[in-house]
């Protein structure tokens, strides 16, 4: 079916690689009448077509709230940018950037002052504002737990002091 659709006159190899809906509908109708019921295309044939078309489709997660086979679709690069998950990640990125412009979180590692990255800063700020007692920060190779104690904030694993500085400035 994909081979028939891509042979349509209006199909091009443009960046979006889209076909007008009436062309798709006409091709599907023609296939339904031409193919016997239960006809299948082999995975190898579809895979070959995908490779021939220079891999126009990507298997992408399209929803933010679950991860299963039904949350993914084959989409072109253009449409993959407009999924619910892509929009959610963009909003999340904007929020992290906004938080990192207003506060800075850091800790003392021996003699050096270490600043948390933007994503962990946003996580710490959220935990601080919602009055959590501790929050776990995940890294690629380890994790850290920051505790919010009456005596101050510390990294649970090392006892290092954690600080929060407001970066807000006002001009009159």
Q: How far apart are CA 2 and CA 24, in angstroms?
A: 10
Spatial distance between the Cα atoms of 129 and 146, rounded to a whole number of angstroms: 14
Domains of the chain by residue range = 2-86, 103-166
pLDDT at 16: 46
pLDDT tens string 31-61: 677 777 777 777 777 677 677 767 777 777 7
CATH 3.30.720.50 is the classification of domain 103-166: yes
- pLDDT tens for 113-166 read 899 998 899 899 889 988 999 999 999 999 999 999 998 899 999 999 999 988
Q: What confidence tens digit (pLDDT) does each residue in 81-127 have?
A: 777 777 777 887 788 787 777 889 999 877 888 999 988 998 998 89
């Amino acid at each position: 079916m994909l081979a028939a659709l891509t042979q349509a006159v209006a199909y091009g190899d443009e960046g979006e690689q889209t076909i007008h809906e009436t062309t798709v509908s006409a091709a599907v109708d023609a296939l339904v009448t031409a193919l016997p019921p239960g006809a299948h295309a082999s995975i190898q044939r579809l895979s070959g077509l995908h490779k021939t078309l220079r891999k126009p489709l990507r298997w992408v997660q399209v929803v933010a709230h679950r991860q299963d086979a039904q949350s993914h679709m084959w989409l072109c690069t253009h449409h993959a940018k407009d999924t619910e998950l892509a929009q959610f990640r963009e909003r999340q990125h904007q929020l992290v950037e906004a938080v990192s412009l207003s506060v800075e979180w850091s800790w003392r590692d021996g003699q050096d002052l270490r600043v948390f990255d933007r994503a962990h800063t946003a996580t710490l700020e959220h935990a601080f504002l919602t009055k959590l007692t501790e929050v776990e920060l995940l890294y690629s190779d380890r994790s850290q737990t920051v505790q919010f104690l009456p005596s101050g904030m510390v990294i649970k694993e090392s006892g290092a002091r954690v600080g929060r500085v407001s970066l807000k400035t006002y001009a009159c």
